[in-house]
Amino acid sequence: MEYKRLMSSQLQEIKPSGIRKYFSLAEEMGDCLSLGVGEPDFVTPWEVRRAGIESLDQGKTFYSANAGLRELRRQISLYLERAFSLRYDPDTETVVTVGGSEAIDMAMRTLLNPGDEVLLPTPCFVCYEPIAKMCGAKVTPLILKEENEFKLTAEELRKAITERTKILVLPFPSNPTGAVMGRSDLEQIAEVLKGTDIFVISDEIYSELTYGGDRHVSPASISDDMWARTVTVNGFSKSFAMTGWRLGYVCAPAPVTEQIVKMHQFAIMCAPTTAQYAGIVALRDCEDVVATMRDEYDIRRRFIVDGFNRIGLHCFEPRGAFYVFPSVESTGLTEEEFCEQLIRKKRVAVIPGTAFGPGGEGHVRVSYSYSIKHIKEALRRIGEFVNEL
């Protein structure tokens, strides 16, 4: 079989994730200290694990409704209102998905026609561009600047809008920069979008992980106009340390979720039922556990930002997620050279900013989802590496 000729040309044109290369290199070198992972180091809270196990013990091993268990959707709806003043009907505006990733995929497939344009603030998580391209859309990167704290400004957005623009992705709190968009930032974005036919896909998977007192602000909570044009994506992976359970959700006005459910029904059927039962307990009973994890991340965040600045790698102070995004420009190396040499010489793995799009140039992504002891040793080695350059 001539596989290459026969398979989807659209898919083959898409490059694999840039992160993979460094992961493989780290594996090849062996004994590497990674600051690369993008998931919590905490184990899922005990009561949530118990709820999953109990559902299995009780024989609850069947499909759920396509949109997810009614009780889980009800808890999602209550949680979103309690936490972010978002109002979504659990019956008609809420769909449980296989992680936030499926929610993003479904949202894009639901909204995009070939030739549409997607505005993508970068650096950002790696999945949006390939999914948009598979829908036949054109992706326009909006390069975020450190001087703007890696936020999207109204001016940058206004300049990028064309008559073909269909979606603006708002991936905040941000992986990889840790940037957040506050209420006034979002109000300015809302002003630009008013009167257009542009949808917002707001990926809020890190919404529980913001630091410094201000809670995450959901774009759909800004105004009725924003609510009507926003597809809110969220999930359990980061907030409740449930990455392996694969559980997320998407909320949007009913005409949008109606189409999403259809796609989800044909492609997936439903999210794993065991995870859904566990998710109910997570939303209902785990506020304190989430606060404890957030406090722990905050301690590490302060520690690692200080560590990089001491080493001489300027580090913007992130307000969300669990990443820092230090600049490596002072070393004279490109971000790729920095990462490769750091692995080879000191066996520490970090990810080049450009793996997250052109906006990541001159920076590396460092995860602080590790123990202080681990971070301390990695910082020591990075310090040595920089001094020896």
Binding site for another protein (CB under 8 A): 17, 19-20, 22-23, 34, 36-39, 41, 125-126, 295, 299, 302-303, 306, 349, 351, 372
Q: Which of 93, 203 has the CB closer to another protein?
A: 203
How many residues belong to the chain?
389
Q: How far is the CB of 76 from another protein (least distance, A)?
A: 24
Residues 6+ apart with CB under 8 A from 115: 136, 137, 138, 164
The burial class, CB within 10 Å (0-12 / 13-18 / 19+), for 213 is exposed
Q: Which of 41, 187 has the CB closer to another protein?
A: 41
The burial class, CB within 10 Å (0-12 / 13-18 / 19+), for 275 is buried
Amino acid letter at 29? M
Q: How far is the CB of 370 from another protein (least distance, A)?
A: 8
- CA atoms of 231 and 218, how far apart (whole Å): 11
Q: Which of 247, 349 has the CB closer to another protein?
A: 349
Q: Which of 81, 295 has the CB closer to another protein?
A: 295
Q: Which of 19, 333 has the CB closer to another protein?
A: 19
- CA atoms of 51 and 283, how far apart (whole Å): 12
Residues 6+ apart with CB under 8 A from 226: 186, 190, 193, 200, 219, 220
Q: How far is the CB of 203 from another protein (least distance, A)?
A: 14
Q: DSSP states of 288-309 as a string?
A: HHHHHHHHHHHHHHHHHHHHHH
CA dist list (Å): 27 to 20, 126, 339: 10, 21, 14
Q: How far is the CB of 154 from another protein (least distance, A)?
A: 30
The burial class, CB within 10 Å (0-12 / 13-18 / 19+), for 309 is middle
Q: How far is the CB of 59 from another protein (least distance, A)?
A: 28
Q: Which of 105, 156 has the CB closer to another protein?
A: 105
Q: Which of 183, 302 has the CB closer to another protein?
A: 302
Q: How far is the CB of 108 from another protein (least distance, A)?
A: 18
Residues 6+ apart with CB under 8 A from 54: 277
Q: Which of 112, 355 has the CB closer to another protein?
A: 355
Q: Which of 302, 303, 328 is nearest to 382 (CA)?
A: 328
What value does the CA radius of gyration of the chain take, rounded to a whole number of Å? 21
Q: How far is the CB of 351 from another protein (least distance, A)?
A: 7
Q: Which of 32, 83 has the CB closer to another protein?
A: 32
Q: How far is the CB of 233 from another protein (least distance, A)?
A: 16
- CA atoms of 16 and 14, how far apart (whole Å): 7
CA dist list (Å): 348 to 224, 271, 303: 47, 36, 18
Q: How far is the CB of 36 from another protein (least distance, A)?
A: 4
